[in-house]
Amino acid sequence: ENKFSCPVSISAEYVETYSVSSEINLYAHMNERIILGADSRGEITKPAEIVGKQAAQVLMDEINSGAACDVHLADNIIPWLCLLGGVVRTSQISKHTQTNMWVAEQFFGKIFNVEDNTISVENRNEAL
């Protein structure tokens, strides 16, 4: 069921592997500049239907968050925010994001401000 009234495109790919597991990756092209993603990994005891439903739920949560940055992108943006400054709103602050901010602040001091899943850093151009 398409709860978002948007076009849906599905492609399946099978690749040879030594693993007995599975994975599903989902992407939502929100517009020409925003792509949100979600995934779920299978296990021997987890039916593929559950893997698919979990990934779909994560993607729906990302879309419903209203953020332009999904949880998996946020930690990758931290080094750029650290160097250039700026603001990014993410669906949630992951442990990876927290760790990247901590590491950056070991070099630059307290530079990050986090409020309601929005991470901001003052303009850093003059600091470089």
* Mean pLDDT computed over 80-105: 95
Catalytic annotation on 96? yes
Q: What is the pTM of this model?
A: 0.77
Mean pLDDT of 94-105: 96
Contacts of 64 (CB under 8 A, 6+ apart): none
Positive or negative, the Cα torsion across 5, 6, 7, 10? negative
Choose, from 46, 85, 89, 96, the residue flagged as catalytic: 96
pLDDT (average), residues 51-61: 93
